[in-house]
Amino acid sequence: MLATYAVRRVLVSIPVVIGVTTVTFLVMKVTAGTYVPGLDLDPNLRPEDVVRIRHQLGVDQPLYVQYWQWVTGIAHGDFGRSMLDGTPVFAHIWSRLPATLELTLTAILLGVVISIPLGVAGARQWGSRLDHMLTGISVAGFAVPQFWLGLMLILLFSVSLKRWGLPWLPSGGQESTIGGGDPLDLLAHLVMPATVLSFFYLSVWSRFVRSSTLEVLSQDYVRTARAKGMPERRVLYVHALRNSIVPLVTLIGLELPGLVAGALVVEVVFGWPGLGLMAYERAKAYDFTMVMGTTTFVALLVILGNLVADLLYAVLDPRIRYSS
């Protein structure tokens, strides 16, 4: 039953959620301890002010008390307060989340839309020159550093095209500050970051689709369909395809942490105002509670994404619901 599978899957996630909050808390306490940025440097602060501020932030409590406050806070949606300006972390996260979602989901979409035809083409003409070329490009795409690809694209599309007087793409941000905001402008800003983020996964996923399609094409039901005289196109796109791309759902779920991590780097390169850029800037400013809250939130998003991917897989492939 789908419902029992779903319930079981959610129950298994709960310890992982608790574990995530614990690990993030531990990592922060081990590295940052009770360090509060700026507290030691301000000459105007009297010792009693320092004590008061530290008490307000809660960093003078014993570790288990802090941990308990942290975990119960998360359960209420309170991810702490920024060490720099005292504003709630969740408000910042919520305001930056749409940008990161836009970037990540577009990258996933791009990756899926491009890797499926490439993988299927490689499988159909298995062993041909096209197949070898596609495999070669995939292996190369696996090795390109994302941030360097971003810089190279900026060099080509923003700097060189502008220099040559051709229409050019903006090199950063989500929309133009002057006269921007229309869909075309948003698209022009989105194109390069999304392409860079999806590039790595294109290569991985197209190889996966290729091997998955090859496996499906050797199954008996494909042979039956061909024996019935079904045109090859129909065999491929109606019968084989829907079986070969279903495992891709699970693969995307597994790659979610890497996608979000890659989104951080891409956001920094392109100045894309998302969660990753916020976490990075706040980390450099030693605002640890903000980084801790963002890390936990992002991890929870990843767990949710994995859950959705597994449930989607169970919907698409009924065998899963009955096996475990």
Partner 1 sequence: MIGTPGIREFRTEPALELPPRAAESYWRESWRRLQGSRIAMFCGGVILGIAVVAICAPLISQYVTHYSYSAQDLDNLFQPPRSPHILGTDELGRDTLTRLVYGAQVSLTVGFLTVLLSLLVGGSIGLIAGYYGGWLDSLLMRLVDVLLSIPAIFLFILLSVLLRPNAITLSFIIALVGWGNVGRLVRAEALSLKARDFVTATRSIGAGDLRLIGRHMLPNALPVMIVAASLAVGQIILIEAALSYLGLGIQPPTPSWGNMLSNAQQYFYHSAWLVILPGVCIFVTVLCTSIFGNAVRDSFDPRLR
Instruction: Indicate the residue among 137 and 230 with the shorter CB distance to partner 1.
Output: 137
Q: How far is CA 41 from CA 29, 177, 219, in A?
A: 21, 36, 70
The answer to whether residue 32 forms part of the interface with partner 1 (CB under 8 A) is yes
Report the residue from 121, 137, 268, 315 that binds partner 1 according to the rule CB under 8 A.
268
Judge residue 87's burial from the number of C-beta atoms within 10 Å of its C-beta, 0-12 exposed, 13-18 middle, 19 or more buried. exposed
Report the residue from 91, 133, 155, 187 that binds partner 1 according to the rule CB under 8 A.
155
Residues 247-266 that bind partner 1 (CB under 8 A): 257-258, 260-261, 264-265
Residues 121-140 that bind partner 1 (CB under 8 A): 139-140
The answer to whether residue 295 forms part of the interface with partner 1 (CB under 8 A) is yes
Closest approach of Cβ 265 to partner 1, in Å? 5
- d(CA 154, CA 193) in angstroms, rounded, equals 10
- d(CA 279, CA 299) in angstroms, rounded, equals 13
- d(CA 154, CA 220) in angstroms, rounded, equals 49
Closest approach of Cβ 133 to partner 1, in Å? 14
Q: Pattern of binders to partner 1 over 211-250, x per CB under 8 A? A: ----------------------------------------
Q: What residue has token string 């976490």?
A: 279
15-22: list long-range contacts, CB under 8 Å, 24+ apart: 16/303, 17/300, 17/303, 18/71, 20/296, 20/299, 20/300, 20/303, 21/70, 21/71, 21/74, 21/296, 22/67, 22/71
Instruction: Indicate the residue among 70 and 236 with the shorter CB distance to partner 1.
Output: 70
Torsion on CA atoms 56, 61, 67, 73, rounded to nearest 10: -30
**Residue 236 structure tokens:** 């491929």
Backbone angles phi, psi at 215, to 5 degrees: -65, -45
Closest approach of Cβ 309 to partner 1, in Å? 13
Closest approach of Cβ 57 to partner 1, in Å? 17
Q: Which stretch, 15-23, 62-70, 109-117, 188-196, contacts partner 1 (CB under 8 A)? A: 15-23
Judge residue 268's burial from the number of C-beta atoms within 10 Å of its C-beta, 0-12 exposed, 13-18 middle, 19 or more buried. middle
The answer to whether residue 143 forms part of the interface with partner 1 (CB under 8 A) is yes
The answer to whether residue 7 forms part of the interface with partner 1 (CB under 8 A) is no
* Interacting residue ranges for partner 1, rule: CB under 8 A: 15-16, 19-20, 22-24, 27-28, 31-32, 35, 139-140, 142-148, 151-152, 155, 159, 257-258, 260-261, 264-265, 268, 276, 279-280, 283-284, 286, 288, 291-292, 294-295, 298-299, 302-303, 306
